[in-house]
Amino acid sequence: MNDSSTPIDESVAEESAVGTHFIHTRIKKEMAEGKYEQVITRFPPEPNGFLHIGHAKAIVVNFSMAEAFRGYTNLRFDDTNPAKEEQRYIDAIKQDLSWMGYEWKNECFASDYFDTLYEYALHLIDHGLAYVDSQDAEAIREGRGTLTEPGTESPDRDRPIAENKDLFERMRAGEFADGEYVLRAKIDMAAPNINLRDPILYRIRHLHHYRTGDRWCIYPTYDFAHGQSDAIEHITHSLCSLEFEDHRPLYDWFIEHLPVPSKPVQIEFARLNINFTVLSKRKLTRLVDEGHVSGWDDPRMPTLAGLRRRGFTPEAIRSFCHEIGVTKSESVIPFGVLERNLRDDLNVHAERRMAVLKPLKIVLTNFEAGVTESAHLPNHPQDETLGTRDVPITRELYIEQDDFMEEAPKKFFRLKPGGEVRLRGAFIIRCDEVIHDETGGIKELHCSFDPESRSGLPGAERKVKGTIHWVSAEHAVPATVHLYDRLFQVADPAADKDTDFTAHLNPDSIETVEHAMLEPSLKDWPAGDPVQFERLGYFVADPDSRADALVFNRSVTLRDAWAKIDQAQQG
């Protein structure tokens, strides 16, 4: 729709990346009622780790809603806890967000609002709605009560306003040690919602903040900072995950009692869960810190950096987020759904090449030695605009070990003694002789090719059951290939509270193939560009790959009907 100069919400909204869901429906209604002129959202990560696929969902939801209703999205770092936050995470988060293809309007920091937040705290104190508590952490915890019992009021709860103010100012001035005092909202210690039992607003932390340096030794809690930060930025809709539902009454209380410039509305949706992996920053941090993976960008990690190195595309991640929808019911998405979205994207865009992971040498006995012919292959079977290439053929070739069986089952369509198979893009060969080594293993195969069956000739029409990939032994370039499997061997690694999730790590989550043989055109394949190794899957050159030491990562396998049959037959 580009025939209109004014992007009317309705038409744009229908094309939103997330389609329609309850949040979209609700905002659309509000827009129709004229409640808002535009929708302003924000993506508010804490810079204490890398973004993962779960964040991707939040990113897509927030950005797509603003986009659908002619607004914009801010990127705001909720950096209220200097003990955990670092600049390097900010850099990584921004990089991931850009990679995903999103542009944020303003780059904000909760720490930018520390002065205002401090004023807000003073405002609460002045109105008798906050007090300085001298109880220690344990006493405060005990006083909070339990889920079924009301809490008890702090002895400091009725401290005079002037005294609260004095104490709070001295907290800020650095007169007290960590934990000596805390600022609390005065709400209701008997509230059934525990968040309303005089929540803590400020705590003393004599810590250097990566942005505000040593200017502060008191820091607002997330609960006190988040909603007000949204209000300061004039966020219209604070879209967040379900666990903050209980906090909404508290955020609303702050907004109601503070002179904030706007009143954001919070809407919660279910966060993403994927099986056979973990999606909590705490757990992902442990995987990194304890060395279970090579880093935040290990291709087995569900982080955006990991997925990127694995060969995922932003398009695949976005279509995945689109597919899973946005609701309030918690769901677990099979890992395979993520993989299929990648396949669907790569199938259309990735060029095809041939590569042999586990080489088996074959000798074409009727092919003249020392001669190099070439096969002309399309780079994509459905998209001819991607061009063609020539692949050298010689007397000695490598084929995949898995493509030959000495004693093959009836449904095995590939090469077997006396059997025929087509070499993709070349011709049909017959296996005449199996050469064994001293230990009885298969050393090489002697085959003969049918000259009449060369691709392009009428004889090529002859049907044979299978087509396999191959590479010229003389021209092949060696490479290291990483094959990845799921990081955990159980669907829900965190299910059992008594067993640490790391106990479920899959010991075979990475298989390194050292001597794969690639067709020559792969020699200078750019890192990050996807490629399909025909019949094997989609691969991507690792950032560490060098011309003299190629490294490819398998992003995802191809769908494999044979594997299913094979598995079923073997029981």
Binding to RNA in span 217-256, by CB under 7 A: 219, 221-223, 226, 242-247
Instruction: Give the shortest CB-242-to-RNA separation in angstroms.
Output: 6
Interface residue with RNA, options 55, 414, 475, 554 (CB under 7 A)? 414
| Widest pairwise Cα distance in the chain | 101
The yes-or-no answer on residue 88 being catalytic is no
Instruction: Give the shortest CB-2-to-RNA separation in angstroms.
Output: 26
Helix (H) or strand (E) holding 156: none
Question: DSSP for 275-314?
Answer: TTS---HHHHHHHHHTTSSSSTT-TTSSBHHHHHHHT--H
Q: Which two tokens stand for residue 392?
A: 């050298």
Instruction: Give the shortest CB-443-to-RNA separation in angstroms.
Output: 23
Percent helix, strand, coil in the chain, to 5, is 30, 25, 45
Please list every residue from 473 through 512 that binds RNA, using CB under 7 A: none
Between 280 and 489, whose beta carbon lies closer to RNA? 280
Between 546 and 569, whose beta carbon lies closer to RNA? 569
Query: Given 28, 197, 281, 454, which residue is catalytic?
Result: 281
Interface residue with RNA, options 344, 373, 444, 474 (CB under 7 A)? 344
Residue 334 in the binding site for RNA (CB under 7 A): yes
Q: Point out which span in 118-126, 318-326, 439-447, 471-479 binds RNA (CB under 7 A).
A: 318-326
Instruction: Give the shortest CB-151-to-RNA separation in angstroms.
Output: 8
Residue 14 in the binding site for RNA (CB under 7 A): no
Q: Which two tokens stand for residue 374?
A: 């070439």
Q: Point out which span in 35-43, 257-265, 378-386, 500-508 binds RNA (CB under 7 A).
A: 378-386
Between 272 and 307, whose beta carbon lies closer to RNA? 272
Q: Counting beta carbons within 10 angstroms of the beta carbon of residue 325, is it exposed (0 to 12), middle (13 to 18) or buried (19 or more)?
A: middle
Instruction: Give the shortest CB-245-to-RNA separation in angstroms.
Output: 4
Q: Point out which span in 53-61, 166-174, 207-215, 555-563 binds RNA (CB under 7 A).
A: 555-563
The yes-or-no answer on residue 271 being catalytic is yes
User: Positive or negative, the Cα torsion across 388, 390, 393, 398?
Assistant: negative
Helix (H) or strand (E) holding 540: strand 537-541
Chain-centre distance for alpha carbon 409 = 40
Query: Given 94, 205, 271, 361, which residue is catalytic?
Result: 271
Residue 422 in the binding site for RNA (CB under 7 A): yes
Question: How far apart are the C-alpha atoms of 327 and 394, rounded to whole Å?
Answer: 58
Please list every residue from 81 through 120 that binds RNA, using CB under 7 A: 81, 83-84
Residue 416 in the binding site for RNA (CB under 7 A): no
Given a contact cutoff of 8 angstroms between Cβ atoms, the answer to whether 303 and 294 are in contact is no
Instruction: Give the shortest CB-211-to-RNA separation in angstroms.
Output: 14
Residue 337 in the binding site for RNA (CB under 7 A): yes
Contact letters for RNA, residues 268-307 (x by CB under 7 A): --x-------------------------------------
Interface residue with RNA, options 11, 25, 262, 567 (CB under 7 A)? 25
Other CB atoms within 10 Å distance of the CB of residue 381: 12
Residues 369, 430, 405: CA angle, nearest 5 degrees: 115
The yes-or-no answer on residue 535 being catalytic is no
Name the nearest CA neighbour of 67 among 245, 333, 318, 266.
318
Burial letters for 437-476: b for 16+ Cβ neighbours within 10 Å, e otherwise? eeeeeeebbebbbbeebbbeeeeeeeeeebbbbbbbbebb
Residue 46 in the binding site for RNA (CB under 7 A): yes
Residue 140 in the binding site for RNA (CB under 7 A): yes
Instruction: Give the shortest CB-144-to-RNA separation in angstroms.
Output: 4
Burial letters for 508-536: b for 16+ Cβ neighbours within 10 Å, e otherwise? ebbeeeeebbbbbbbeebeeeebbbbbbb
Question: DSSP for 388-431?
Answer: EEEEEE-SEEEEEGGGB-SS--TT--SB-TT-EEEETTS-EEEE
Name the nearest CA neighbour of 316 among 288, 291, 337.
337
Residue 144 in the binding site for RNA (CB under 7 A): yes
Specify the 3-state DSSP secondary structure of 481. Answer: strand
Strand segments (E) across 3-121: 40-43, 72-77, 107-109
Residue 558 in the binding site for RNA (CB under 7 A): yes
Interface residue with RNA, options 165, 340, 358, 446 (CB under 7 A)? 340
**Terminal-residue alpha carbon distance, the chain:** 54
Interface residue with RNA, options 456, 503, 544, 546 (CB under 7 A)? 456
Please list every residue from 176 through 215 that binds RNA, using CB under 7 A: 178-179, 182, 192-195, 199-200, 203-204
Interface residue with RNA, options 325, 392, 520, 528 (CB under 7 A)? 325
Other CB atoms within 10 Å distance of the CB of residue 490: 17
Residue 412 in the binding site for RNA (CB under 7 A): yes
Between 322 and 510, whose beta carbon lies closer to RNA? 322
Residue 78 in the binding site for RNA (CB under 7 A): yes
Residue 162 in the binding site for RNA (CB under 7 A): no
Tell me, by CB under 7 A, how many residues bind RNA: 90
Q: Point out which span in 112-120, 253-261, 359-367, 419-427 binds RNA (CB under 7 A).
A: 419-427
Between 261 and 456, whose beta carbon lies closer to RNA? 456
Q: Point out which span in 64-72, 142-150, 499-507, 540-548 binds RNA (CB under 7 A).
A: 142-150
Instruction: Give the shortest CB-294-to-RNA separation in angstroms.
Output: 25
Q: Which two tokens stand for residue 343?
A: 């396949």
Q: Point out which span in 256-264, 443-451, 462-470, 546-554 binds RNA (CB under 7 A).
A: 462-470
Residue 369 in the binding site for RNA (CB under 7 A): no
Interface residue with RNA, options 116, 152, 347, 489 (CB under 7 A)? 347
Question: How far apart are the C-alpha atoms of 161 and 305, rounded to whole Å?
Answer: 50
Place of tokens 């990845």: 484
Amino acid of residue 2:
N
Between 75 and 298, whose beta carbon lies closer to RNA? 75
Catalytic residues: 46, 271, 281
